[in-house]
Amino acid sequence: MIEARRLHILRAVADHRTVTAAAAALYLTPSAVSQQLTALEQETGHRLVERSAKGVRLTAAGEILLAHTNAVLAQLERAEAELAAYSSGEAGTVTLASFATGIGLVVAPALTRLAETAPGIRVRVQDAEGDASLPMVLDRQVDVAVAVEYRGAPGADDSRLTRVSLYAEPFDAVLPAGHRAAGSERVPLAELAKDPWIGPFPGNPCHDVVVLACEQAGFQPVLEHTSDDFRAVVALASAGAGVALVPRSALRGMDVAGAVVRPVDGNAPTRRVFAAVRTGAEAHPLISPVLGALGDAAG
């Protein structure tokens, strides 16, 4: 008989590619993870992982078991949801990870709504970049992620996750007040090809949006200054250090003295924001109202 907790470990190893990283995500020691993998191989009668200097990869048998693992764990989530519904599930705690702008734009308004419609549900919020929250959901560190599309993200067809679309927002150009394009109503990105750029660090989903938009405009941006804090990005633009692309919602209420904000001409770069839970958990009586409140807050 295969133990479900060992399937969690197999999936974590497949996701994180190393025993050490999987152990950290699951709050276990690497030796405990290795022991559980060995036990799982004994239970199945197959070698499931291969270790090398570069990490761990699944064997063909491991890939077969992983496909069933995703289905089994989703069904267990559904079972927990039905059991929670049976016992009413009107009170409890839901953990949620979101990037900072998402917290302000949809998470905080959703909490206000839940206080009125489901006062027994307590939501614990963690600030996490858009590329960090999905692994946190898969590793069961949080129940809900408010995330953005990014290169390498689990796709919309990933059977491990259920998504709820929230909103899409354009990026606007932020220019020093004295910039040659400051008087334009809309700014073509190609006009900024030779400017120094200010933007998020590589790995931040917004970095991918900026670089991809510039590549589509025919150039590679020269990132002279990097910060994941959009207030710092705008401050640097105000000081004449360079140009930037910033999500429109991040600019709300921000002091942009010394800079000008202009829409991008043509197809503006856009980030798409969604909520995600482990497949099967969307019907949980605590999680379902949170997803509904997020959707309402996003409008």
Residue by residue, DSSP assigns 192-253 as GTTSEEEEPPTTSHHHHHHHHHHHHTT---EEEEE-S-HHHHHHHHHTTS-BEEEEGGGGTT
What are residue 121's DSSP bridge partners?
Answer: 92
User: How many CB atoms sit inside 10 A of residue 229's CB?
Assistant: 11
Average pLDDT in the 34-43 region? 90
Average pLDDT in the 222-229 region? 93
pLDDT of residue 268: 85
Average pLDDT in the 39-55 region? 88
User: Is 103's pLDDT higher than 80?
Assistant: yes
Asked if residues 196 and 222 have their Cβ atoms less than 8 Å apart, the reply is: yes
Positive or negative, the Cα torsion across 112, 114, 115, 117? Answer: positive
What are residue 168's DSSP bridge partners?
Answer: 272
**Average pLDDT of the chain, as a whole number:** 90
> Backbone dihedral region of 203: left (phi > 0), alpha (psi from -120 to 50 degrees) or beta?
left
Between CA 292 and CA 204 the distance in angstroms is 27
Between CA 153 and CA 118 the distance in angstroms is 32
Taking the mean position of all CA atoms in its chain, how far away is CA 229?
17
pLDDT of residue 4: 85
**pLDDT tens figures, 119-165:** 888 999 999 987 789 999 999 999 999 998 877 777 888 899 999 99
Between CA 55 and CA 40 the distance in angstroms is 19
Asked if residues 230 and 238 have their Cβ atoms less than 8 Å apart, the reply is: no
pLDDT of residue 53: 79
What does residue 104 show for φ and ψ, rounded to 5 degrees? -70, -35
* Nearest Cα residue to 62 out of 128, 15, 96: 15
Identify residue 190 by its one-letter amino acid code. A
Q: How confident is the model at residue 86 (pLDDT cuts 50, 70, 90)?
A: low
Q: How confident is the model at residue 88 (pLDDT cuts 50, 70, 90)?
A: low
pLDDT of residue 232: 95
81 exposed, middle or buried (CB, 10 Å; 0-12, 13-18, 19+)?
Answer: buried
pLDDT of residue 204: 83
**pLDDT tens figures, 238-270:** 999 999 999 998 888 888 888 999 999 988 888
Tokens linked to 8: 């969690």
User: Is 236's pLDDT higher than 80?
Assistant: yes
Between CA 77 and CA 137 the distance in angstroms is 12
Asked if residues 296 and 214 have their Cβ atoms less than 8 Å apart, the reply is: no
pTM recorded for the entire structure: 0.69
User: Is 5's pLDDT higher than 80?
Assistant: yes
